[in-house]
Amino acid sequence: MAVEVRIPTILRKHTDGEKAVQAEGDTVRDLLDDLDRRYPGIAGQLLNEDGSLHRFVNVYVNDEDVRFLGALDAKLEAGDVVAILPAVAGGGSGGLKPSPPVGRGSGGLKPSPPVDQG
């Protein structure tokens, strides 16, 4: 299915500056594969090494968060509009909040060694 994909500013270096591009796929996963064929390197910014959607990347189909539509298995229809937005997130102190591995990154908090009560 041919769909329009809206590209966030930070990824437009992969699309020659284009903010909206056409790509094809019956599912979001297929779409991202197709996008990566047309614009090599873009999928690496969106997916973990295991092929799952990066925790801090938001993908929407017709304004719905794909995480509620089956994530990468979300189905696409002709004329759908897919939007990609990096998460707006951060934190004050320490490392990333403990979470499943996100592919690349500096890992989470290490537990402190037990205090010697002596």
Partner 1 sequence: MLEIGQDQYRTLVAHASAEYPNEACALLAGRDGTVERVYAVPNAEASPTFYVVEPKLLLRVMTEIDDLGLDLVGIFHSHVATEAYPSRTDIELAKYDRAAYLILSLADRDAPVLRAFRIRDGQVDEEPVRVSRRSGVAG
The residues binding partner 1 (CB under 8 A) are 8-10, 56, 58, 60, 63-65, 67, 83, 85-97, 105-106
Nearest 5°: CA angle at 86, between 84 and 87?
125
For 115, the 3-state DSSP assignment is coil
Closest to 52 in 3D by CA, of 11, 118, 102, 3: 102
- Nearest distance from C-beta of residue 118 to partner 1, angstroms: 30
Q: Which residue number, 4 or 56, has a Cβ lying nearer to partner 1?
A: 56
C-alpha 104/C-alpha 22 separation (Å) is 28
- Nearest distance from C-beta of residue 89 to partner 1, angstroms: 4
Q: Which residue number, 43 or 96, has a Cβ lying nearer to partner 1?
A: 96
- Nearest distance from C-beta of residue 44 to partner 1, angstroms: 14
Q: Which residue number, 37 or 95, has a Cβ lying nearer to partner 1?
A: 95
Q: Which residue number, 93 or 117, has a Cβ lying nearer to partner 1?
A: 93
Separation in Å, CA 11 to CA 8, 16, 33: 6, 9, 15
